[in-house]
Amino acid sequence: MTAHSDWLGSVTVADSAFARAAFEKLDRLLTALQPAALDRLRSIARFDDTSAQIDLHHVSGKDWLDVDLHYSEDLGGMFNPLGHEEYYQLRGDLSVEQDALDDLAVLLTSTYAIEETWWRGRHIRTVVKQTSGGEEIGVSVSGWPLLPPKWLLLPNQLTVRRDSLSYGGRLTSN
């Protein structure tokens, strides 16, 4: 069955206790964080009897900001701006679901600084730095790990573009 969410363009929820509870937890999280830069039309979620799939998109359309979260009671994974996070249910640990939602909250309240490097008009490297609460919590580098020495380059051969984006999520106090 389809469900209504102010935050997601499409939501499918199976008629089970797990599916309804998982949807309600996600909807409460998004309502609490108020992620202003979430692309509500393109973001979707599906909840069935044993698992959840959540695909969130940024209004900028930048693919590197997409969040793809899948989880069940004992395992899961999330593709996010810094790479991939895996979840496993271990004896005595919190549920996978809660770990995934906690990580999602951090992602939606973080700022992402991106530095794209171009050499002779070709994109050669991207560095993404995640900051939360004024503290750098992760870095991802794709492309060339090292750049050519500056003395080897002619003027305008190396171009660096910097940008800073976030989902705009904010923790609100009640």
pLDDT of residue 92: 62
pLDDT of residue 113: 95
Does the residue 142 lie in any domain?
A: no
pLDDT of residue 29: 95
Q: How far apart are CA 57 and CA 43, in angstroms?
A: 6
Q: How far apart are CA 170 and CA 17, in angstroms?
A: 29
Does the residue 52 lie in any domain?
A: yes
Name the stretches of the chain with pLDDT < 50: 174
Does the residue 134 lie in any domain?
A: no
Does the residue 34 lie in any domain?
A: yes
Does the residue 141 lie in any domain?
A: no
Does the residue 145 lie in any domain?
A: no
Instruction: Read off the pTM.
Output: 0.84
- When divided into structural domains, the chain yields a total of 1
Does the residue 121 lie in any domain?
A: no
Q: In the structure encoding, which two tokens stand for residue 6, read together?
A: 């102010």
pLDDT of residue 63: 86
Does the residue 154 lie in any domain?
A: no
- Which 8-state DSSP code applies to residue 31? H
Residue-number span of the structural domain to which 49 is assigned: 5-111
pLDDT of residue 169: 92
Beta strands in 74-121 (DSSP E): 75-80, 83-88, 111-119
Q: How far apart are CA 84 and CA 154, in angstroms?
A: 37
pLDDT of residue 174: 47
- The SS3 call for residue 61 is coil
